[in-house]
Each structure stands twice: as structure tokens, then as C-alpha cells.
Amino acid sequence: MISSSSQRSHLLRVPCYFSPMLAVIIFLGLVLRIHQLTDRSLWFDEAFSWRLIQFPFLEMLQRVGLDNHPPLYFILLKVWAAIFSDSALALRSLSILFGGLTIFGTYLFALEAFGKDLLPAGTNDGLQPHGRGIGLLAAGLVALSAFHIRYSQELRMYTMAATLAVFSSWALFRALQPPSRLGRWLLYGLFALLLAYTHYYGLFTLAAQAVFIAALILVRARWSLPQVIRDPGLRHALFTAAIASVLWLPWLPAFLRQRSQVQATFWSHPTTRWDIALLCYNMFTVRCDYYTPPYQRQLLAADASILILWLLRRKAGAAECYVLGSIVLPLICCLTVSAPIALRYFIMAHVFLLVGLSVVIWRVPFRLERSIVIAVILAFFAGLYIDYWHDLDVAHRPGARGAAAFLEQQRRPEEPVIICLPAFYFPLLYYTPHRASCYLYSDGRPMPHFYGTAAMIPEDLITDEQMHGLGSHRVWIVNIAGGLFGAYSVPVPPQWKVKSHHSFTEVGWLGDIIVMEYETDTVHEDN
């Protein structure tokens, strides 16, 4: 019979998965992510996600295989839209949900990783800070992170990947606690499988986890091969990896096809050292994609990141080594296989960078000095968030949403709208009530797959010949000016006459949407 004192001792060993401070942090993070959630127009990637879930389920899966991503997010988004509608608020709320879960998962991971020691007594001579304090600070940094807020408001799979990265890490550290239990390993395997089905860069995070598991088992066995073989954790890990691999195999043909088409043609360019410096810069402050700050700022951000990693590795224990690997190894894997370096793909590494920063701060030995450093860092992150929203200036950049509202007021439903590029076709299609008369201009040449061809149907396209055969008295043309694409316009027949010209600025790097009103020669023939 267990005594009451033993019961109390057991309860004290149970991690505290909830605290009032954590609830405040999660609430604050959700408020910041909900702020002006629908004011910014859906951009191409988001509208592409919306268009994909309009197809029947099996056709949607087939079309996802023609794009560049795994299917899990789109399956979940389709179910989510069926329950809550496909409004911008409803669709983006799924990412908001995962943003809140990432904050909570970051706390759980830090509590599990830094609240316990995976290595035997005497093996680890490093620092083992208090898990709860690190977890609350890391959760606070994620909640305030402009980088994470940016992608928590986007209709894409990035915050879902970050959520699964931290929850798989939490489950992994639970599985690695002796004695090894198969149930805990299977829970880890579930999160790992879901991550692999969410984003391919999650495979780099899983690779870092595999390296960590192997290294930890070797250290525990004191590099003795017979002890490694007898370790039940190794058997459980291999069994879990085998099950997860078998369950991922059905998607392998689609993955190989997607990988080959990305290698053949994609929007990315060869990686340079400045791309890595820019990645470090945007880990802390996000203004807009393709914004290139002065080299001095990029170098300062890179130096700050290196300093965090260097301080983290000093007297590092198992948890510190895991965080280091989760930050560095995905980038090394990305460079090794020549995968594109895009900021949003590194949202998983970003969360672990913030955990590493929290560990470094928590190592300040004196409470007063540590409290001052924490206050300064939190204020710095809050200032970066304010700068991010000031830079977006969504109140003066209506973009696709404003252009669609203008067209709804000015055009008749049967009057055609012809859009110059897919980057603006899908967003305008989303915001336009009368979609049957909206077309994407095609010059007859095949479009690259990253133009969103997986979500296109033949009825979307209009050619020069079809434009000449339009019977409408009035046609609306949507061109672009400035931004990433420069000036791009639909080549209209020479007899069409311009009647009006209206501009709608998009946020960030997308430039201006130019809505042109044309009268066709049909008007003059009638006269």
C-alpha cells in the first residue's frame, strides 16, 4: 500500500503543464495574431490554398501531388472550411490556432527538456537551468515574435509545422526518459509522421532528432556497442521509425515527382552567404519578403545568432545540444541537398532559436540582472512587432481586396475581368463574387508549376484569340506595376480604348494592382 507521503512525493515529480502566467502569455499571443487579421489581402500562396480546397477531396489530393507540399495541411484546411466557412477570418483562424499551440508547445518542450536531465549522474557537468522559467520566457518570445506572428496570420502550413516540431520534441524527450516505454515512443512517432506530412523541411527537423537520439543512446551506453544493442530505447526508437516510415511510403512517389520538378525549375536562386545573413536578420525582425536591409544590419543579426549558439554550447547538456542541432542541422541539410532557402521554411528552426536565447538569458546568475535582461529583450521584441505592423501599413494598402471591391461596384457581372499573372489571379478570384467571368491571361506557352498550375482549370485561361472574340462592350484588365515582378500587363487588342485607370497598392513586395477599364470596338460598331 502506498503511503500518503509517497503519493505526495510522486505528485511533486509531475511536471506543471499549466500556470496562470502561461495562460496570460498565450492570450497575449492570440490577441497579437488576431489583430487586423482580415485587413491584409490574401496573397498568391494563401489564395492558392483556398483554391485547392474547392476541388473534391480525391481530386484535391491529386492536385496537391502536382504542387510542392505534402497533403496534411490541405486536408485539415478543407475540413476546417467545411465547418467554419471559407471566409478570410475562418481560414486564417486555423493558422492562429496553430500559433497559439506553438506557444504552448514551446513551454511544454522547455519544461520537459530543461526540467529533467536525460544523462546519468556525473555524465553532464553542464548547466541545467530551471525548465519552467525557460519555458515561460521562450513562450513569451514566441508570442511576441514578429516573425512567428507574420506566418500565424497566413493561410499556409507554416505554423502547423512549427507546432508539430515543438510537440514532437516534447514527446521525444518524454520518450527518452528512462525507463523506455513503447507508448511514449509511439506518441513521438505520431507527431513525427504528422510533421513529415505537413512540410518537407520538417524532414530536416526529424533528421536532427534522429542524430540526437543516436548520440544520446551512445553516450548513455558509454560508447559500448553491446550496451547500445541491449538498450530498450534503441529498439523502441527503431520500431517507431519503421512504423512512421511505412505510413509515409504512400506519399513517396508524389514526393519524388515534386522534388524532380523543383530541381528542374523553381523561383529560387543559388544560395550565397548573404542569404544566410538575411535569414538571420529576418529571424528577429520581419518587414516584408525580398526586403534587403543594409549589410551592416544583416551582419549584426548573423553575429547575434552566432553569439547565441556559442553561449548555448558552453557547458551544454543534452537539452542544449538538442536545441543547437534543431537550429543548425536543418540549415546544413538544406545547403547539402541544395533546397531553396526561404524565410518561412525556417519557422521551426526559429522557435528553437528563441528557446536557445531563453536558455542563455536564464544562465545570468543573479536574479535582478536576469530580470533586467528579460525586460529589455521582451521590450525589444515588442518594438520589432510594432515596427512590423507600421511597415505593413495595411490601412493604406488595400491590394486585391480593394481592387475586387472596386470591380464589384463598377462592373456588371457579365463583363470580363482579365488578369495578367497568377500571382494576382487567385487573390482576385477569391474576393470576387462573380467568378465566372474572371480570366487569367495566357500567351499559349506552358506555365511553370510554381505559378499555381496545380489549382488551375482550362476555363481559367484566356488567350489572345479568345480576347479578340469577346462580345462585351466593356472589359476590365488587371495589370501590375512595381514590386517584385516589375511592370507586367495584358497585351490588349489595339482597337480597345482606355476609359479609366485605378491603382491599389499591395502590402510588402507585390507592388500596385492597376485596374484598367476598356471599351471594345463592339461599342463603336453599335453606334
Residue with the three cell numbers 491571361: 441
Q: What are the tens digits of pLDDT across the range 8-66?
A: 434 334 455 668 999 999 999 999 999 989 998 999 999 999 999 999 999 999 999 99
> Which 3 state secondary structure label does DSSP give 446?
coil
Per the prediction, the chain carries an average pLDDT of 88
pLDDT at residue 356 greater than cutoff 60: yes
Instruction: Give dist(CA 347, CA 502) in Å, integer.
Output: 37
The stretches of 145-181 forming alpha helices (DSSP H) are 146-152, 158-176
Q: What is the mean pLDDT of residues 431-436?
A: 87
Higher pLDDT, 295 or 325: 325
pLDDT bracket for residue 160 (50, 70, 90): very high
pLDDT at residue 245 greater than cutoff 60: yes
Output the pLDDT for position 146: 93
Q: What are the tens digits of pLDDT across the range 375-429?
A: 999 999 999 999 888 888 888 889 999 999 999 999 988 899 999 988 899 999 9
Output the pLDDT for position 291: 59
In total, the chain counts a number of residues equal to 527
Output the pLDDT for position 228: 86
Most confident of 127-131, 335-339, 484-488: 335-339
pLDDT at residue 359 greater than cutoff 60: yes
Output the pLDDT for position 268: 63
Output the pLDDT for position 300: 84
Output the pLDDT for position 125: 41
Q: What are the tens digits of pLDDT across the range 191-238?
A: 999 999 999 999 999 999 999 999 999 998 888 888 888 889 999 999
Check whether the bond before 179 is cis (ω within 30° of 0). yes
Q: What are the tens digits of pLDDT across the range 67-119?
A: 999 999 999 999 999 999 999 999 999 999 999 999 999 999 999 999 877 76
pLDDT bracket for residue 254 (50, 70, 90): very high
**Strand 461-462 versus strand 438-441 pairing type:** parallel
Instruction: Give dist(CA 525, CA 438) in Å, integer.
Output: 25
pLDDT at residue 295 greater than cutoff 80: no
Beta bridge partners of 480: 488, 513
For 444-496, where are the E strands, in sequence order?
461-462, 474-481
Give whole-number Cα distances, 77 to 11, 47, 54, 105, in Å: 39, 12, 11, 21
Q: Which residues contact 60 (CB under 8 A, 6 or more apart)?
A: 52, 53, 74, 78
For residue 209, give the nearest of 231, 237, 229 by alpha carbon. Answer: 237
- pTM, two decimals, is 0.91
- The number of CA neighbours under 13 Å toward the Cβ of 60 is 20
Instruction: Give dist(CA 273, CA 253) in Å, integer.
Output: 33
For residue 321, give the nearest of 435, 172, 447 by alpha carbon. Answer: 172
pLDDT at residue 289 greater than cutoff 80: no
Please give the backbone phi and psi of residue 516, each rounded to the nearest 5 degrees, phi first: -110, 130
pLDDT bracket for residue 6 (50, 70, 90): very low
Residue with the three cell numbers 492570440: 30
Higher pLDDT, 75 or 280: 75
Output the pLDDT for position 392: 82
Instruction: Give the number of other CB atoms < 10 A from CB of residue 280.
Output: 20
Output the pLDDT for position 16: 57
Give whole-number Cα distances, 345 to 159, 169, 304, in Å: 10, 18, 21
For the chain, give the percent of residues with pLDDT over 70. Answer: 91
Instruction: Give dist(CA 164, CA 198) in Å, integer.
Output: 9
Amino acid identity of residue 89, one-letter, is L
